[in-house]
Amino acid sequence: MRIVALKGTGMAKRIYLHAGAHRTGSSSFQLCLHDNRAVLEAHGYDVAYPGRDGVPGGQLRLRLPAPRHEGARMGRFAGSVRGAVKQFSPDPGRALVISEENVPGRMFHFFQGRFLPASAMRLRCLREGLEDAELHLLYVLRSYDEIFASAWRKRAEDNKVEDFQSLAPRFLDMDRGWPELMAEMREILRPARMVLLPYEARGSSRELLTRLLPDLAGADLNEPEAQLNLSATDAGITALQDRYRAGETLSREQWQEVVRRYAEERDDLGLTRFTEADRAVLRDRYARDLDRIAAMDGVEMA
């Protein structure tokens, strides 16, 4: 498939994609899109994002393949993307801002020592569904020790999980990492612009939005006051895991109530603590991988 009208010639629909990563404030960014929808619409941008964490107006439901779909026909997944573009931005003359952290895949594969294993399939379906659109991509990277710990904490809120320390060897022996995923995004999605930044340089959601849409740098944008998708404290996770391991099944409302109940008990119980040696290995790997990514052609590293 040939992509036409790159670099803003105006001949193709423009898509601005914030694709994560997980655990880098995606829900807060989506709330920022909601709070600034009027400004975005006035500048010619339509908006689409999911409503997983209660963000108002979140209606995006992209269907992209999982590892089990390897070898299956992908047309229905590309059709999901195509349908979403038509639903949220039917006017070809307007741009569409999409925020969806699940584009490259879900986090639970980290527990198997696999780093987003369906990403290539998912990206191919996304690119096919976007047809000849001019794509601009923004992605926030996070250090391996932090994202693996945060992924464990998030899954532990609503699932029975193995102890973090028993999973640490799989995290250390992960099959690949950020450079491989970024290379896939560049080669499969072929974005007109690809902006990457480490989580520590993310800044506010308002600032992140202007990295995706530089023409809004001088606009009067609101920063969301609410904080979304916060992790449970160690005390909250311990209470939840005790119940799951006793065989209980909790509804979303029930486990969220437990999270709230223990929100002020902030003692560090060491639930997601790597050894100093393991943490140093992961930190060093992340630093070297950031250098590899920064050296890639076609990438803007903030």
Would residue 260 count as lying in a domain? no
Q: Is the model's pLDDT at 290 over the cut of 90? A: yes
Report whether pLDDT(85) > 60: yes
Does residue 243 lie in a domain region?
Answer: no
Alpha carbons 96 and 60: distance in angstroms, whole number:
12
Provide the CA 261 distance to its chain's centre, in angstroms.
27
Looking at the domain assignment, is residue 118 inside a domain? yes
Spatial separation of the C-alpha atoms in residues 154 and 190, rounded to whole Å: 32
Is pLDDT of 11 > 70?
no
Element (H, E) at 154: helix 144-158
Q: What is the CATH number of the domain that holds 93?
A: 3.40.50
Please report, to the nearest 10 degrees, the dihedral formed by the alpha carbons of residues 90, 134, 195, 87 taken in order.
20
Residue 1: band (very low, low, confident or very high) from pLDDT cuts 50, 70, 90:
very low
Helices 26-35 and 205-212 pack at an angle, to 10 degrees, of 80
pLDDT at res. 225: 86
Q: pLDDT tier at 152 (50, 70, 90 boundaries)?
A: very high
- Encode pLDDT of 104-148 as tens digits: 999 999 999 999 999 999 999 999 999 999 999 999 999 999 999
Tell me, what's the pLDDT at 122?
Answer: 97
Whether 9 shows a pLDDT value over 70: the answer reads no
- Characterize 109-136 residue by residue with b for buried, 16 or more Cβ atoms within 10 angstroms of its Cβ, and e for exposed: bbbeebbbbbbbbbbbbbbbbbeebbbb
- What element of type H or E holds 183? helix 178-184
Q: Output 286 or 227, whichever has higher pLDDT.
A: 286
The reported pLDDT for the residue numbered 54 is 86
Q: Which of 290, 292, 284, 291 is nearest to 145 (CA)?
A: 284
Mean pLDDT (whole number) for 197-207: 97
Q: How is 77-109 classified by DSSP, letter by letter?
A: HHHHHHHHHHHH---TTSEEEEE-TTTT--GGG
Helix (H) or strand (E) holding 18: strand 14-18
Residue 8 has pLDDT above 80, yes or no: no
Q: Provide the pLDDT for residue 3.
A: 32
Stated as kind and residue range, the H or E segment containing 301 is: strand 300-301
**Average of per-residue pLDDT values in the chain:** 94
Sign, CA torsion 256/271/156/139: positive
pLDDT at 7 exceeding the cut of 90: no
Residue 239 lies in a domain: no
Crossing angle of helices 144-158/234-245, nearest 10°? 50
Q: Classify each residue of 161-183 as buried b or exposed e, where b means 16 or more C-beta atoms within 10 Å of its C-beta.
A: beebeebbebbbebeebbbbbbe
Range of the domain at 213: 14-231+272-301
Average confidence (pLDDT) over 23-43: 96
What are the phi and psi torsion angles at 98 (to 5°)?
A: -115, 130
Question: Residue 18 domain-assigned?
Answer: yes
Does a structural domain hold residue 146?
yes
Average pLDDT over residues 218-236: 88
Residue 217 has pLDDT above 60, yes or no: yes
- Range with the poorest average pLDDT among 57-61, 121-125, 189-193, 229-233: 229-233
- Structurally, the chain folds into a number of domains equal to 1
Region 221-244: what's the mean pLDDT? Answer: 90
Q: Could you give the percent of the chain with pLDDT greater than 70? A: 95
